[in-house]
Structure 1
Amino acid sequence: MTAVAEAPNFTALEERLALVACGENSRPGKTRACDSCAKKGPTLIRITSTGAVDALAAAICGTGRAPACGDCQGKAVRMIRIYNGEAE
C-alpha cells in the first residue's frame, strides 16, 4: 500500500496571518481576528505564498487593487516575513 502524503495544515498560519491583517496592534491583548478577516485566511495565505506585496496589501485593504494604504502595505510585508519563517 502506498502512503499518501497529507496536505499541510495551514490552519494556525492562516489564523496568524488573519490576525495580522485584522490589526493585532489595534487592541492590546487581541488574540483572534474578526470574523471578516478570519474568513479571508485561505485567500491571504495563497497570496502571501506568492510574495506579492501589492496584491496582498490590496486584499487586506479590501480594495482588491493597488495601491493600498500604507498600513496595509506594512501588514503585507510583515505577513510575508511570517510566512517565510523570518524573525518578527
Structure 2
Amino acid sequence: MFSLGAEPYPTFTHAEMFEFLQSGKRLAKPKDSTDEIYQLMLDCWKENPADRFCFTEIVEILRKMLESQTAEYGYVPLDDYYKE
C-alpha cells in the first residue's frame, strides 16, 4: 500500500532474498509511510511468528492510529461503528 504496489525485491533472486531476510534485514521504509506505520510493518516482519501481532491486534493499532491522526478535524471514533 505504501510502496504503491512496487515489487518488494525486484533485483533479488529467491536465494538472495532468503539470505537478506535470514540476516535480519528488512525493506527500507517506503517514502510515503509514516514512522509509526513502518514500525508496525517491522513488527509484522519479525522472524519468530510468536513475536508478531495477531490480526485483531493489528486492527486495533490501526484504529488507534486513524483516530489519533484525524482527531483534530472531528473524526467519529470507529467504536461507534465497529462491532466484532
Q: TM-score, normalising length from structure 1?
A: 0.30
Which of these two proteins has the greater Rg computed from alpha carbons?
Answer: 2
**Higher relative contact order (Cα pairs below 8 Å, separated by 6+ residues):** 1
Between Structure 1 and Structure 2, which shows a larger proportion of helix residues? 1
Q: TM-score, normalising length from structure 2?
A: 0.30
